[in-house]
Chains A and B, each alone.
Chain A
Amino acid sequence: MASTSPAELKKTPLNATHRALGARMVEFGGWDMPVEYSGITDEHLAVRTRAGLFDVSHMGEIEIAGKDALALVQWLTSNDASRLAVGQIQYSALTTPTGTFVDDVLVYRMADEHYMLVVNAGNIAKDHEWIRGQAASRGGDTAVVNASARYALIALQGPEAQGILQTLTGVELAGLKYYWFGHGEVAGVRATVSRTGYTGEDGFEIFTPPAQADRVWQALLDAGRSADVKPCGLGARDTLRLEAAMRLCGSDMDDQTTVLEAGLGWIVGWKKDDFLGASRLRDQKTNGVERRLAPFEMKDRAIARHGYPVMQDGRQVGVVTSGTQTPFLKKAIGFAMVPARMVEVGRPLMIDVRGRLVAAEIVPEPFYKRAGRT
């Protein structure tokens, strides 16, 4: 069933393809995006067991180049970018001076003095302004470019992803490690291929010029036909990432949440020099956080969704930041921001689900971990 698309929504180069494939379209972060094709459960299971294809061209790319590029990236982000070799990627936070999130990003080291930040769709303009402002006030030799319009981004995710993609590219995928990337051609189109994703499954993200995105998409669907690869929408992307305990910036954390409160201490480069928010994060590391994101599983039959209150003795003590019924684990799971003293595996939580108190329990993360990954 076709839905209407207000003219002011941004469209990816694959918009017409999604509509022709019968996707249900929704507004997401100012973009007209497919939410589902064959159904969230079907798509989710395809990624866990075979492969799924996602259009994530709405994601932004901000490039930072120049003699002082590393110094700027180090100042802007929480993780230690000096550890990156050319061709390597890290998950990081673009932080405010108080250690909270401007955005969460992937940092690609493209060349010695050239980095690319892959940022969330709804934050592209904000992030670009923020980075430019910081670059200007620090001085130094850097150029900051919002390159988002230069890239389409297609994700092929699932255990069959490598086999499917390898038939279309000369990039040697078996030798491409998790969170590394290479350049080459995919289906005859110049591309950058990175072993990354937002599903908790093995897979790749493929950057191509927008004008050739459709050709790459069709080639991947054709090459994946024998593996029954499914086109997937944002609905399955959300259930997959949550099952893998990957955070969604803007939902699980925002500019009021520090990196440590989001449970992401592992993306702070504690040994590096000063960076935005460092003193707050160091203080929280020493003295502890007051509240923290906790993964939970429902004990009663109900889904706790974003914004539902976490209750204790008749009082709200926290809030659910993400929640869904996961198609693979067949459990209702989620994240809640709760007082740090409550964060202990096995601890019961009571959640107000539309006026009814429902039992949940804090569990270890991730909820789902694919076999064979260390």
Chain B
Amino acid sequence: MSSYPSDFKYTKDHEWVRLKDGEASVGITDFAQRQLGDIVFLELPAVGQQVKQGDVLGQIESVKAVSELFSPVSGEIVATNADLVSHPEVINTAPHDSWMVRIRPSAPGEAASLLDAAAYASLVK
């Protein structure tokens, strides 16, 4: 079974968040990639865009379904992963290494609403 890194936070919508050096990297969890199956397209927002917690950041499309990527925190998009857009299949093999966007959080208190690894693991058990 998959393990969920203990230094990440998680959402009920199956995003992971890694808070480091004042930025939040965001991706989707191993559970999410397994639900989607083979991922073929990834659409991400523009750098500089302001987003609120829960906003749609982009779309992740697999052979069989389309899923939305929701922002786990509010803030400004400071980077998107162009390599991952070119090779979205990497999300299936290394979901927890596949960051999609980096956000500079504007409301640090929001992180408290996210799940820790143990809580997320029990959610998807």
By a beta-carbon cutoff of 8 Å, the part of chain A in contact with chain B is 1, 35-36, 39-41, 235, 239, 301-303, 305, 324-325, 327, 354
Contacts and interface: CB of A to CB of B under 8 A. Distances in A.
Given A39-B37, A40-B38, A324-B64, 10 more contacts: A36-B37, A39-B38, A40-B63, A41-B38, A239-B63, A301-B41, A303-B61, A303-B66, A325-B61, A354-B59
A316 to B, nearest CB: 20
B66 A327 contact: no
Contact of A324 (B34, B63, B92): B63
Contacts of A324: 63-64
Nearest to A3: B35
A60 B51 CA distance: 51
A36 B37 CA distance: 9
5 contacts: A41-B63, A303-B40, A303-B66, A325-B40, A327-B63
Contacts of B59: 354
A73 to B, nearest CB: 36
Contacts of A303: 40-41, 61, 66
Interface string B59-71: 1010110100000
A165 B13 CA distance: 45
Nearest to B85: A301
Contacts of B38: 39-41, 327
A8 to B, nearest CB: 24
Contact of B37 (A235, A302, A305, A354): A235
The 7 lowest CB-CB distance pairs between A and B, nearest first, are A325-B40, A41-B38, A40-B63, A40-B38, A325-B63, A39-B38, A235-B64
A5 B37 CA distance: 20
A302 B37 CA distance: 17
A35 B62 CA distance: 14
A341 to B, nearest CB: 31
B79 to A, nearest CB: 21
A62 to B, nearest CB: 30
B63 A1 contact: no
A9 to B, nearest CB: 19
A40 B63 CA distance: 8
Interface in B43-64: 59, 61, 63-64
B34 A1 contact: yes
Interface string B82-123: 000000000010000000000000000000000000000000
Contacts of A36: 37
Given A239-B63, A303-B61, A40 B34 contact: no
A36 B118 CA distance: 28
Contacts of A302: 41
A302 B59 CA distance: 11
B63 to A, nearest CB: 5
A36 B92 CA distance: 15
B34 to A, nearest CB: 7
A37 to B, nearest CB: 11
Contacts of B37: 36, 39-40, 235
Contacts of B64: 35, 40, 235, 324
A359 to B, nearest CB: 15
Nearest to A41: B38
B63 A235 contact: yes
Interface string B21-49: 00000000000001001101100000000
Nearest to B31: A1
Contacts of A40: 37-38, 63-64
Nearest to A238: B64
